[in-house]
Amino acid sequence: MTLSRIELADWRAVHSWASLPQVCRFQTWGPNTEEQTRAFVATAVDAWAYSPQQRFAYAARTEGDVVGMGELHVRSHHLGRDHPHDQVPHPQASSSSRPDRDTAGPTGTGGLVSPR
């Protein structure tokens, strides 16, 4: 298995699992329509051009086939003691005390692997 930058052509593979209710069951997104998956992949590809880069989307490939993906999100390039995001909130903390969560795509802030 290898990791490489996600490409626009990968949208069909991503959609093969992002459209499945059992994959999205515990996510804030999905199941996705084809349009939603295309838009998600397009924004993930575009993120590689930003500077400073804060989103790194990778496709997991086996023998060239996309079998999953994952993302790394950098929330701040300057984390210090007085920075508002220098601590990870407890899951039971009130939503008003937690930083906003990125839910724009099928991986949120974590990773997702195809159920294949």
CA atoms within 13 Å, Cβ hemisphere of 76? 11
Structure confidence at residue 16 as a pLDDT band (50, 70, 90): very high
Q: Tell me if the bond preceding 31 is cis, omega within 30° of 0.
A: yes
Tens of pLDDT along 24-79? 999 999 999 999 999 999 999 999 999 999 999 999 999 999 999 999 999 876 65
pLDDT surpassing 90 at residue 99: no
Tell me the pTM.
0.65
Average per-residue pLDDT in the chain? 79
Residue 102 has pLDDT above 50, yes or no: no
Is residue 54 classed as helix, strand or coil in its secondary structure? coil
Report pLDDT for 103: 42
What share of the chain in percent tops pLDDT 90? Answer: 62
